[in-house]
Structure 1
Amino acid sequence: MSKSLVIVESPAKAKTISKILGKNFVVKASAGHIRDLPQKEMGVNVKNDFEPKYVIIPKKEEVVEELKGAARNADRVYLAPDPDREGEAIAWHLAQILDIPGDRLQRIEFHEITKQAIQNAVAHPRDIDINRVDAQQARRILDRLVGYKLSPLLWKKVQRGLSAGRVQSVAVRLLCDREKEIQAFVSEEYWTVHGRFRQSAQVEATPFSADLVRWSGKKPDLGNETAARAVVEVLTGAASRVDSVKTRERQKEPQPPFITSTLQREGASALGLTVKRTMAIAQQLYEGIDLGEEGPVGLITYMRTDSTRVAEEAQEAAREFILAAYGKSYYPSRRRQYGAKKGAQDAHECVRPTDINRPPDAIKKSLTPDQFKLYRLIWQRFTASQMTAATLETRTVEIAATPTAGRPDALFRVSVTRTIFDGYTRVYEEAREEAATGDEEAAGAAPVLEEGEALTLLTVDPKQHFTQPPARFSEATLVKALEEQGIGRPSTYAPTIGTIQERGYVNKDGRTLIPTDLGMKVNDQLVQHFPNIVDTEFTANMEAQLDEVEKGSQRWTQLLADFYGPFVETLKAADEEMKRVVIVTDHLCESCGRPLLNRYGRFGNFLGCSGYPECDFTHQLTRDNKPVPKDRPAEGISCNQCGHAPMLITYGRYGEYLKCPACGKSQPKSTGITCPKCSKGQIVERRSKMGKNFYGCDQYPDCDFVLWSRPIDKPACPECGSILLYKPRKRGDDMVACSACKFTAPAQEMVGEEEVERQAELLTG
């Protein structure tokens, strides 16, 4: 019996779907895109209506041949990449190269990897949506035109290796504009006054604090200590009483279920995860987790979405779960509906659990710690979004203080908020994006007071403050800003933030993103010469036009033509007007003490003295543009040729290595790990004849132990005790894998953030 072929993007997803569909289906993975524009040429014929030249992606030839063979032997082929523009384009490219009749080829789409969703998709196939494909092509070609035309200009005027793009350049501008605000900010001093009170009739009553909010009939304006001390002096010993007590109730509504951007932000705020890490874990939860007897199960719906829509069956399941678990008072009389933000593509659902009856604790043993934390966050947020509001009561007490002079000049205020009914907060309380006010932070401190009740003013305390500059962006707040201004799409945020760091435009300090001098200089040039490229409104409008292409109301080639003509004219003018940019570094010349400049020569970037030609000092840079470290002794390591000790750790074309200062011979740098095969030698870093790094025993040829990935000293594999290997990834988070068994795990979970950063430094030389 012939079988049907299903082609998905991810091997992990293929494994999960294969278990669902059974023996009559063959499930293969394309591993992402199979065709793209060529790497070494623009690949767009601008004179022929922007005709793209697509080529098979290098190293994908074997995948393509495997898919072609499987398609020829199948009675029907279902194209099942992700349900978004990128996925639609992948399906279209597959259809172009599989070379089978169209009546045997159909597109299927699903938003969650569950048995019901997959079987329903197979039962209701459709044609490829060419409008979606055109929208993706327009975006890809637009980015290629900007990148291939603008990046060489930056190489020429600033330094090689730079890049520019519609979304990444706007993101850098947001960071640079904020940095300029901070640099221009002038802090101003101000003071506040706080009173410490106690009920006069109850000597044992607990004292409480209140803030001075009115002085001489208006808001206090205390710009210095002298003004504050003058108020304190007048109020000391003042008679006080409760002037008013006001109580109001308010409903605190739950947040909508997650969309991509809010998931990324909450992952950062609540879990401390990077945007990249959040999306990598969400991808794992979507593609399927092995739950033992159940097998691989997709735990969440598709995680790249800007829609808060919830399917009716999911709402009904949520209703039944909430009623059973928490009771009738926790489920609203009407189902909750959340409005979509402007420009949202409402074809997808929100990010939610595929089955609300699979609570996090029930499957905790099948998940890694980070998978569990993120799944719990998604499950709690969705469940809470379908529950009743919390009821809060806020009691505001105003206290009149009459100075000894007899004038009722002062009014103090304290607010206390308490929860009357917990509602959705029984399940989930979002990380506090709404900062608590000073009054709210005093919640619970004030006793129950009656209007007119006499109070004793115990102390009056002044407090100094300074106005603060706007906060620098974190990954979470940058995502929020990009989303609010309509820049990019959910799938672009994580790679954009990664790219601007890789290009050296931005450094990350803790959770804070800080533009570098290079980023500031490049941004200044783009703002001056390419204002449209880095203009938020222009970029947001381009996104809206791409949406129109997807709807079929605008031709993608016309969109490109409208952009390209003015862009080329601007490019020509910029080439003539833009001056060579000098990047001054923080490093000083070792010969004359003047600042070093970031320069470019025939062998790449290097540091050169700003006093050139009087001073010709230079310093080599590593592959990630960091100064090459000075030679330093390798304590405890002697030369294997002449016995001299210690060897020197020096830097060469391929990174660090050991060199003998006596005989000049070099030897590989040791990893410090004992060879598990012979137990005599150490594993050292070597380089093959083909230029590939590998790791082998230094007792070769007596011991032929070899590894093709960097070994990690600690920890050992938790399953078999063998050496773990570090597996860097260009997309998604780095992994570790056992050198002997099939164990794999996210690197950050196994070795921690510091080791991940150390490995990144080792890999970049």
Structure 2
Amino acid sequence: SAKKTMSIAQALYEGVDLGPRGQVGLITYMRTDSFRIADDALIAVREFIGHTYGPEFLPERPNVYKSPKGAQEAHEAIRPTSVELTPDEVAPFLGKDQLALYTIIWRRFVACQMSAAEYQQTQANIQAGEGVFRASGSIMIFKGFTIVYDEGSASNSDRTEEGLLPPLKKNQVLDLDRLEPAQHFTQPPPRFTEASLIKALEENGIGRPSTYATIISNINQRAYVRVEKGKFRPTELGFLVTDLLVKNFPEIMDIRFTAQMEGDLDRIERGQVRWTNVLKKFYERFQHELEKAKAEMKGEMPAGVECPECGRPMVIRSGRNGLFLACSGYPECTYTSNFERDEKGRVVAEKIPEVSEAEVVCEKCGKPMVVKRGRFGAFLACSGYPKCKNTKSLNGVDATDNGEPPPEQSVCKVCGGKMVVKVSKKGQRFLACENYPKCTNTESLSTGVPCPQEGCTGTLVERFSKKGKVFYACDQYPKCRFTLWDRPFDEKCPVCGTKVLLIKYDKNGKGILRCRKKGCNFSRPFEPSSTD
């Protein structure tokens, strides 16, 4: 992540213990977007290139790069403090992530002062009836700077092999081997990753190297986005906040405004404009929008769907349990519903299964069960509430009283009663004493698998993350911090001897046992017994 990268860069800048050399700062100041390189650093790197790689890799004059508009020229470009400290030389003193970042900085710095790579390009026009087909190919004839730094060496190698053309002569007649028609459709732009979002911020003049990590951290911590497979996906809160701000503060939410403000701050720093004039000009416009928002801005947005009870438009509102759909006709109409979005981002109201009151009867008091809506969706509750607080999920699983006591955790440690499996309204399983509410003791559900951590006598139990995802952890926490995302299985790997295998499932729902050790490829079909 950007935050982690900046933290690692900070450590390299402040200094690392290099043994006999002592504490050494390995890179220059990293919160800068300047391309300027000091003269002494240019002399040192040119001497290093000529001595290490040969004179053919050294251009006649130093390569000079123009810094982006508005760059902070008070600092140099990010570079190693000494080109002689190669990644191989400092590797024994750095962590894995520190070495990876230092290697990129060192290689890019050296490569930026080397000769360009040279390619021999070939293009052939092939006439076939009225159609003309064009084939292009290129071959690298001089590696140049790519001998030190090549961002996509593997992919570039593949493209080079694919781009090789056979020997051809002018007016040569070719035999058709095969014709492969291809049709391309316009694809939507891919979702932002941290790297692509920072690049977009740079291109639009928003933020500075010192603020990129903070921007990324803020949108994550405020739950405006969530990360799925390394890409940002906006949350419902993100949709709501963005829609409200864009509607009520269109000028401030315009990308050009933010870029202009960055430019104004730079001009203030250089003494080209008085800060009071900039602030006065901004506030004159902002005050009008602020007063308008105070009078008109509501904490809701149109949902684009109609109320199924009265036909009025539904709106998205925020409550103590999150966002929900509500009828705009409130208080005349009190209909509410949870919702989700389809693949096109359109709001779709939650579909609640139709449950006949005559079909579901509370087994505790005999009264009919009714559909209620809670924080985690719809569920069945006894109509005798508050005298009877029995609840069930709509799929028939009892939410408060369920199952037989597990054999290894059948006795309550507080009162001696039986421990039974219960399911919360969120669908999370746990153990609770049968004497509730007199005894409120609860425990995590055990897997029965011993913790594989060396010297630990604990057992792996089922737990839930803040987002409700199941994981498995040692019950001796915080003494033992061993965790797994996949369900554990008490068996040793027959290949490498690693304790505890993982139960995974393919797309067809078939179980597979796999070794959890990186590099071991052992796997076999998982056939659960009656106790698994």
TM-score scaled by length of structure 2:
0.65
Shift of 1:399: 1.2
User: Which one of the candidate residues 318, 321, 328 is aligned to 1:605?
Assistant: 321
Is the aligned partner of 1:419 residue 2:188? no
Shift of 1:309: 0.7
CA distance in 2, matches of 1:492, 1:710: 37
Is the aligned partner of 1:396 residue 2:123? yes
**Aligned position for 1:347:** 74
**Aligned position for 1:356:** 83
**Aligned position for 2:24:** 297
CA distance in 2, matches of 1:656, 1:304: 47
Which AA in structure 2 matches 1:382?
F
- The 5 Å alignment of 1:157-176 reads none
Is the aligned partner of 1:637 residue 2:400? no
CA distance in 2, matches of 1:562, 1:575: 21
Q: Say whether the 8 Å CA contact 1:305–1:348 is kept in structure 2.
A: yes
User: Which one of the candidate residues 231, 234, 238 is aligned to 1:519?
Assistant: 238
CA distance in 2, matches of 1:361, 1:663: 63
CA root-mean-square deviation: 4.1
Q: Which runs of 5+ in 1 are unaligned?
A: 1-273, 402-407, 587-594, 623-627, 685-696, 699-704, 716-750, 753-765
Instruction: Give per-residue Cα distances to partners, 1:426-472, cap 9 Å, x unaligned.
Output: 0001249xx98x9978412x212111222112222322332222222
Q: Say whether the 8 Å CA contact 1:380–1:428 is kept in structure 2.
A: yes
Which AA in structure 2 matches 1:574?
A
Q: Could you tell which deviates more after superposition, 630-639 or 457-466?
A: 630-639
Shift of 1:289: 1.9
SS in 2 for 1:457: coil
Q: Say whether the 8 Å CA contact 2:299–2:317 is kept in structure 1.
A: no
Distance 1:646 1:309, change over 3 A: same
Which AA in structure 2 matches 1:663?
Y
Tell me how many residue pairs correspond in the alignment: 396
Shift of 1:617: 3.6
**Aligned position for 1:13:** none
Instruction: Give per-residue Cα distances to partners, 1:3-48, cap 9 Å, x unaligned.
Output: xxxxxxxxxxxxxxxxxxxxxxxxxxxxxxxxxxxxxxxxxxxxxx
SS in 2 for 1:562: helix
CA distance in 1, matches of 2:317, 2:14: 45
CA distance in 2, matches of 1:423, 1:315: 18
Distance 1:666 1:570, change over 3 A: same
User: Which one of the candidate residues 33, 50, 68 is aligned to 1:323?
Assistant: 50
SS in 2 for 1:646: strand
- The 5 Å alignment of 1:419-458 reads 419-431=140-152, 442-444=162-164, 446-458=165-177
CA distance in 2, matches of 1:460, 1:607: 54
CA distance in 1, matches of 2:457, 2:177: 76
Is the aligned partner of 1:474 residue 2:193? yes
**Aligned position for 1:713:** 482
**Aligned position for 2:311:** none
Which AA in structure 2 matches 1:553?
Q
Q: Say whether the 8 Å CA contact 1:302–1:351 is kept in structure 2.
A: yes
Which AA in structure 1 matches 2:123?
T
User: Which one of the candidate residues 533, 537, 555 is aligned to 2:252?
Assistant: 533
User: Which one of the candidate residues 365, 374, 383 is aligned to 1:619?
Assistant: 374
Distance 1:327 1:312, change over 3 A: same
- The 5 Å alignment of 1:356-755 reads 356-401=83-128, 408-431=129-152, 442-444=162-164, 446-582=165-301, 599-600=318-319, 604-606=320-322, 610=326, 613=334, 617-620=372-375, 636-638=408-410, 639-640=412-413, 641-648=415-422, 650=424, 659-664=432-437, 665-667=439-441, 669=443, 711-713=480-482
SS in 1 for 2:83: coil
Distance 1:362 1:671, change over 3 A: farther
SS in 1 for 2:176: strand
Q: Say whether the 8 Å CA contact 2:80–2:105 is kept in structure 1.
A: yes
Distance 1:531 1:599, change over 3 A: closer
Distance 1:607 1:449, change over 3 A: closer
Distance 1:680 1:452, change over 3 A: closer
SS in 1 for 2:111: helix
Q: Say whether the 8 Å CA contact 2:237–2:323 is kept in structure 1.
A: no
- The 5 Å alignment of 1:142-221 reads none
CA distance in 1, matches of 2:442, 2:83: 55
CA distance in 1, matches of 2:126, 2:186: 27
Instruction: Give per-residue Cα distances to partners, 1:246-292, cap 9 Å, x unaligned.
Output: xxxxxxxxxxxxxxxxxxxxxxxxxxxx2222222212222222222
CA distance in 1, matches of 2:457, 2:205: 60
Q: Say whether the 8 Å CA contact 2:16–2:24 is kept in structure 1.
A: yes
Shift of 1:332: 0.7
SS in 1 for 2:109: helix
Instruction: Give per-residue Cα distances to partners, 1:464-519, cap 9 Å, x unaligned.
Output: 33222222222222211111111111111111122112222222222322223332
Instruction: Give per-residue Cα distances to partners, 1:565-615, cap 9 Å, x unaligned.
Output: 3212211101222234158799xxxxxxxx996642xxx335667477367
Which AA in structure 2 matches 1:605?
N
Q: Say whether the 8 Å CA contact 1:286–1:300 is kept in structure 2.
A: yes
CA distance in 2, matches of 1:278, 1:679: 34
Shift of 1:667: 3.2
**Aligned position for 1:122:** none
**Aligned position for 1:288:** 15
Q: Say whether the 8 Å CA contact 1:608–1:617 is kept in structure 2.
A: no
**Aligned position for 1:138:** none
Q: Say whether the 8 Å CA contact 1:415–1:439 is kept in structure 2.
A: no
Distance 1:353 1:671, change over 3 A: farther
Q: Which runs of 5+ in 2 are unaligned?
A: 306-313, 328-332, 337-370, 378-392, 462-473, 485-516, 519-532
SS in 1 for 2:9: helix
SS in 1 for 2:132: strand
Give the % identical residues.
40
Q: Say whether the 8 Å CA contact 2:456–2:480 is kept in structure 1.
A: no
Distance 1:668 1:596, change over 3 A: farther
Shift of 1:714: 5.6
Q: Say whether the 8 Å CA contact 1:606–1:618 is kept in structure 2.
A: no
Which AA in structure 2 matches 1:409?
E
Which AA in structure 1 matches 2:63?
R
Q: Say whether the 8 Å CA contact 2:116–2:145 is kept in structure 1.
A: yes
CA distance in 2, matches of 1:440, 1:299: 36
CA distance in 2, matches of 1:670, 1:526: 43
Distance 1:471 1:533, change over 3 A: same
Q: Say whether the 8 Å CA contact 1:657–1:667 is kept in structure 2.
A: no
CA distance in 1, matches of 2:282, 2:479: 46
CA distance in 1, matches of 2:65, 2:251: 34
Q: Say whether the 8 Å CA contact 2:58–2:114 is kept in structure 1.
A: yes
Distance 1:452 1:605, change over 3 A: same
Shift of 1:644: 1.3
SS in 1 for 2:61: coil
Shift of 1:410: 1.8
CA distance in 1, matches of 2:118, 2:107: 19
CA distance in 2, matches of 1:368, 1:668: 41
CA distance in 2, matches of 1:311, 1:348: 10
Which AA in structure 1 matches 2:23?
P
CA distance in 2, matches of 1:661, 1:539: 59
SS in 2 for 1:554: coil
Which AA in structure 2 matches 1:660?
C
Greater RCO, 1 or 2 (C-alpha within 8 Å, sep 6+):
1
SS in 2 for 1:460: coil
Q: Say whether the 8 Å CA contact 2:300–2:317 is kept in structure 1.
A: no
